[in-house]
Chain A
Amino acid sequence: GQNIDQPTEMTATEGAIVQINCTYQTSGFNGLFWYQQHAGEAPTFLSYNVLDGLEEKGRFSSFLSRSKGYSYLLLKELQMKDSASYLCAVRDLGYIPTFGRGTSLIVHP
């Protein structure tokens, strides 16, 4: 089975940087995803890591350490529209991702 852990809620200030952590335990590993989901909307793909290291994409970066079973999503220059739920999902040796419960990020002025 798989176990994915991420904080339930985080708050941050507009313009700041926030790091959302995700730890996982899986029987195999075939990639880790981060999705953003605004309330009532579809989850949207943010990033995919399968090798160790940092992947940067604009204001968002995602890091992976396979040996530690650990990833983080880094959001820079926070904007109010970044308030959303951030979902960590891990694939084992198959192709179906297992999702964490999500981290609700609240950005305030």
Chain B
Amino acid sequence: EAGVTQFPSHSVIEKGQTVTLRCDPISGHDNLYWYRRVMGKEIKFLLHFVKESKQDESGMPNNRFLAERTGGTYSTLKVQPAELEDSGVYFCASSPLATKEQFFGPGTRLTVL
């Protein structure tokens, strides 16, 4: 069974540009989560989808971040316009409903210059 996949693995952009990160969860997993780890800090929650609905977006830093999960399958996280402090590793995780374990993807390393 394929795990959670994320694309791209690395992205280097300039301040002010737009970047879109993609996450493909494990097939059949209704829960999808986005997290971010800024260098030297802990992994922090960004938002949670249940199917196509945003269940909790309390961790989104500001309105430059937009997450979507059309059709309840893959999800995208768009940063527009990117700022220097957005650099970090963005993780996606998925899980079936009513389970405690989350399955993480390998992350996208975003560098904003």
Contact = CB atoms under 8 A, between A and B. Distances in A.
B43 A87 contact: yes
Contacts, number: 43
A96 B45 contact: yes
Contacts of B91: 42-43
B103 interface: yes
Given A96-B56, A100-B42, A102-B42, A44 B48 contact: no
Interface residues of A, number: 21
A60 interface: no
Contacts of A101: 40-42
Interface in A85-109: 87, 89, 94, 96-102
Nearest to A89: B43
Residue of A35, A42, A87 most packed against chain B (CB within 10 A): A42
Contacts of A89: 43
A4 B100 CA distance: 19
Given A31-B100, A100-B42, A42 B105 contact: yes
A48 B102 CA distance: 11
Nearest to B55: A95
Interface in B4-63: 4, 33, 40-45, 48, 56, 59
Interface string B72-109: 00000000000000000001000000001111111100
Contacts of B105: 42
A100 B40 CA distance: 11
Interface in A10-47: 31, 33, 35, 40-45
Contacts of B40: 101
Interface of B: 3-4, 33, 40-45, 48, 56, 59, 91, 100-107
